[in-house]
Amino acid sequence: MPQSITSVNDDLGMHVTQSVKQKIMKGEFVELHTLLNKQTDIDAQESRVLFTNGQLTLKPANTIKITTIDTWLDAFFIYMSIYLSAHIDQTHSLIKYIANVKVGASRVSGGLGWREYDRQFRLKRAKDNSISWDKIDPELWLLYITPNTNSVYKNSQVSSKFCYEYNNKGSCRMQNCQYQHQCLKCQNKHPAIHCPDKQAAQRTSSSRAFQAPF
């Protein structure tokens, strides 16, 4: 059934389910792209064919992907509006976090390292909510923002399809992870930290100073 257009007076998170809102307010991890309001006109949506239990079914495809800083901001503002409803004291810290990610995006030419920095930061904070939003995580900044063309963690359109948690830690805690569990360096079925060629691709932290945004 056709629905009315989204009004500028509507709450940013009005389309988000209560269960997802509860997860955000509790500090649990959610994928930001799932917060974006999808088109409601079924004729305008792409669909994919699924074969389930011997039957073919059509399922609308999620066509919204975060590939630009503007789309990320659209999603994060929704996340922020929900999170702050339970943690209003974190307003200043979240504003600073947005500024940090924007700086990261300006330093990653043509890549999506800034997006992976945000994702990994929020994964880490979901495990330890004492981590401050407004503080840069040096390890993640080095892995995903600091330029290093010889590293297996280089920020490129190609490497962004791989799961960084799997490659960095050897395992991934996410169920139905949307990223590939393959080595960033050789694309074989093992994490980058266990790659036979990992010595050639180790981070050059001893020779490259950490670049903080401010």
Pair (140, 96) in one structural domain = yes
Query: Does 214 reside within a domain?
Result: no
Pair (135, 175) in one structural domain = no
Residue 52: the pLDDT is: 58
Region for residue 27 given its phi and psi (left: phi exceeds 0; alpha: psi -120 to 50; beta: otherwise): left
| pLDDT reading at 182 higher than 70 | yes
Query: Does 94 reside within a domain?
Result: yes
Pair (26, 128) in one structural domain = yes
Pair (54, 90) in one structural domain = yes
| Mean pLDDT of the region 167-177 | 79
Which residues touch 2 (CB under 8 Å, ≥6 apart)? 40, 41
Pair (22, 123) in one structural domain = yes
**Nearest C-alpha neighbor of 121 from the set 143, 95, 88:** 143
pTM, whole model, 2 decimals?
0.60
Neighbours of 148 (CB within 10 A): 18
Q: What is the chain's mean pLDDT, rounded?
A: 76
Quote the CA–CA distance of 86 and 109 in Å, as a whole number: 36
Query: Does 191 reside within a domain?
Result: yes
Query: Does 141 reside within a domain?
Result: yes
Range(s) of the domain holding residue 193: 148-202
Number of structural domains in the chain: 2
